[in-house]
Amino acid sequence: MGGGRPSRLGQPLEETERLKDPREIQELVRAHYGPITWRESLTAQMEALGQLIDYLQARDVGVTIVLLPYRRAIEDLPLTVAYRTGVGAFCKSRSVRLVDMSRSLSEDEFWDINHVNYRGLSKTNAVLMHIATEHLRRAGLLPSGHAGGRSRPDETDTAMPATADDPRTE
């Protein structure tokens, strides 16, 4: 493998940038995470998430959980399915708003195996800014006319699909 700054998976970025074939991406993710450790890690992450939500809700802080976009190649991997299902069930059981952006970008909006490019970042940022602006507005920290950047996520160059948990459906 070539040199260069490593990605989170420990692969040089130049190598992961070249991975476009969904099978190659799946193989890399499976090889890195394997069947052994992700279940324990996911359990610990969900426990930590529960503690954080308890802390925030005890202080009347509004909470929205956002599942960020990922590549289609990892959509059906056991870790991805377990995480998405676990977070969804967690949010439902705690009455926490969930915005699922996981499938909101096309494959050409990713730079490498799990990082978005500029177009993907622009779309993702528009939705996140809308969520943050609405929270600040409801808390009385922004005047009602303040747009906070793009005022609606569907003002991006290419609209992302709306879902029941999408802020555009409010």
- Residue 63: per-residue pLDDT: 93
* Residue environment code for 61-82, b if the CB has 16+ CB neighbours within 10 A, otherwise e: eeebbbbbbbbebbeebebbee
Confidence tier at 115 by pLDDT (50, 70, 90): confident
CA–CA distance, 70 with 26 (Å, rounded to integer): 12
Number of domains in the chain: 1
For residue 70, which of 130, 8, 132 has the smallest C-alpha distance? 8
pLDDT digits (tens, 9 = 90+) for 56-105: 999 988 899 999 999 888 888 888 889 999 999 999 999 999 999 999 99
Whether 86 is covered by a domain: the verdict is yes
Whether 2 is covered by a domain: the verdict is no
Instruction: Identify the weakest region by mean pLDDT among 25-29, 40-44, 136-140.
Output: 25-29
Whether 47 is covered by a domain: the verdict is yes
Whether 77 is covered by a domain: the verdict is yes
Instruction: Return the HEC string of the chain.
Output: CCCCCECCCCCEHHHHHHCCCHHHHHHHHHHHHCCCCHHHHHHHHHHHHHHHHHHHHHCCCCCEEEECCCCHHHCCCHHHHHHHHHHHHHHHHHCCEEEECCCCCCHHHECCCCCECHHHHHHHHHHHHHHHHHHHHHCCCCCCCCCCCCCCHHHCCCCCCCCCCCHHHC
Among all chains, which residue has been given the structure tokens 């569907």? 154
Whether 42 is covered by a domain: the verdict is yes
The tokens describing 65, both together, are 């959980």
Whether 155 is covered by a domain: the verdict is yes
- Residue 10: per-residue pLDDT: 58
Whether 113 is covered by a domain: the verdict is yes
CA–CA distance, 125 with 136 (Å, rounded to integer): 16
Structure-model confidence comparison of residues 10 and 68, the more confident one: 68
Instruction: Identify the weakest region by mean pLDDT among 26-30, 45-49, 123-127, 154-158.
Output: 154-158
Domain span at residue 78? Answer: 13-169
